[in-house]
Homo-oligomer: A and B are copies of this chain.
Amino acid sequence: MRAPSFATLLAVVLPSIPAFAQAPAAAAPDLGARCRALFARALEDNRCHAILADLCATAPKRMSGSAGYATAVEWGRQQMLALGFANVRLEPCMVPHWERGAREELSIAAPGAFAGEKLAVLALGGSVATAPTGLVGRVVEFKGLGDLRENGARAKGAIAFLNQPLDPTELDTFRAYGKAVGQRWAGASEAARVGAIAVLVRSLTLRLDDHPHTGSMGYADGVPQIPAAAISTRAAERLSALLAAGHAVELKLALHCRTLPDEPSFNVVGELVGTAKPDEILVVGGHLDAWDAGDGAHDDGAGCAQALESLRLIRALGYGPRRTLRCVLFANEEFGTRGGNAYAATHADELAKHVLALESDRGGFLPRGFEGTLNDAARARLAPLYEALAFAGIAHWEPGNGGVDIGPMKGAGVPLVGLVPDSQRYFDVHHAASDVIENVHPRELALGAAAMAALLHYVDGLEGTLR
């Protein structure tokens, strides 16, 4: 598919054009071949999808503090043992424990013409319950948090309905999510400030469908705690249309969730011990907890499977490692980052020897590149890898925060990097019942694992570090 003459011509004429960034002289002689071998092996073995399918079958529901999470921990430990990792262990941390309880219900109470019509709903993580029999209230719609803050008086005694859609013009759907997620996180307390009795939030997805998308929320100090739930985008459109038609809509909402005392829990850790510099460490991980609407296949079963698979690939191809590659399946990303905090605290004395921390937590979709905290000099050292991975369409190398679970290592100067898959499909399934193994493409997942393996292998082989 590639014609050297074309590339060569433009490498001279237009040195900054992406497709022609093939200056073989600059790359280590066989790095490209080693990267291609990692990708070919990942695609041929198709192990990453099998690992993920096993997790989704064994521990489909694994919210922090739940029995399902404990099952997932044991699954992770067994996976690492089966893969031949060394020093497999559970590292303790305390995690929050919020339970959904019985299935939520939301229906139209009035006007009578629509009474009994059900709307798809899920409590937000951290919400308080309604009374067991539910609450009934008039609905008042707001375009989002800003609208609520400006015109909130209307919501007094009512159910506030925050209906800000994701901005479809954002090419990067994480940007669209970032612009709208405030209504989910802070909506309850903002609505309570003006006297609302509950809050309903439009699901944070670009699809128009029947899946409510849950996620974490928090209560501000000194404000009454009111029930908070997500409704599907179709339910939001339905509600909005009824209100726009002038109906005085009353809803009945019943949430049965509760917050229990914190629970002891674990990060799952295992290693390939380095042959040359075993005390220098590269961490690779994802988070093992997941919301309970689906099976957490993309968020973040995919990241866990890719972390495991990336080490399997490196060993399968005999690529060392020279340093110790440490796989960490983190606890409680979704609801407090306790696993990430515990890892950084437990290994505080060792962080100076951490060469890299790599996380995958943006779904198991087609990999486009990486984002991270690397400084300019460190980025320059990755240049041969940029070229070596161009064949796989890995062309996005940008600044970013790396990931939530590895974030607590930032203060210690650990270089943090996150895998960046294409974002178009992520919020279709994020925190929803559609986040199941059937919606994970085996080859896209495998390509992400291969890209991670390539990055780990390359950094493992560098003299010096990326600090």
Contacts and interface: CB of A to CB of B under 8 A. Distances in A.
Interface string A379-410: 11001001100111101111110000000000
Contacts of A13: 380, 383
A446 to B, nearest CB: 9
Interface in A19-68: 19-23, 26, 39-41, 43-44, 46
Interface in A343-399: 366, 368-369, 371, 376, 379-380, 383, 386-387, 390-393, 395-399
A395 B393 contact: yes
A398 B9 CA distance: 13
A10 interface: yes
A443 B365 CA distance: 15
Contact of A18 (B21, B26, B39, B441): B21
B171 A206 contact: no
A133 interface: no
A83 to B, nearest CB: 21
Given A16-B26, A369-B19, A206 B3 contact: no
A461 interface: no
A424 B399 contact: no
Contact of A383 (B14, B387, B447): B14
A47 to B, nearest CB: 12
Contacts of A425: 441, 444
A186 interface: no
B16 A20 contact: yes
Nearest to A22: B16
A18 B7 CA distance: 13
Given A14-B380, A21-B16, A171-B391, A3 B422 contact: no
B6 A39 contact: no
A441 B175 CA distance: 19
A383 B10 contact: yes
Contact of A44 (B9, B39, B168, B386): B168
Contact of A376 (B5, B424, B443, B444): B5
Contact of A441 (B40, B386, B395, B424): B424
A416 B430 CA distance: 40
The oligomer's copy count stands at 2
A399 B6 contact: yes
A348 B398 CA distance: 48
Contacts of A43: 168-171
A1 interface: yes
A15 interface: yes
B6 A379 contact: yes
Nearest to A386: B17
A2 B398 contact: yes
A172 interface: yes
A11 interface: yes
Given A171-B39, A422-B366, A443-B424, A376 B9 contact: yes
A419 to B, nearest CB: 15
A397 B14 contact: no
Contacts of A379: 6, 9-10
Contacts of A390: 18
A95 to B, nearest CB: 31
A19 B169 contact: no
A404 to B, nearest CB: 17
Contacts of A46: 168
Contacts of A2: 398-399
What 4 A-B pairs have minimum CB-CB distances, sorted nearest first? A40-B169, A19-B397, A18-B395, A15-B15
7 contacts: A11-B16, A14-B26, A43-B168, A44-B168, A171-B391, A368-B393, A424-B447
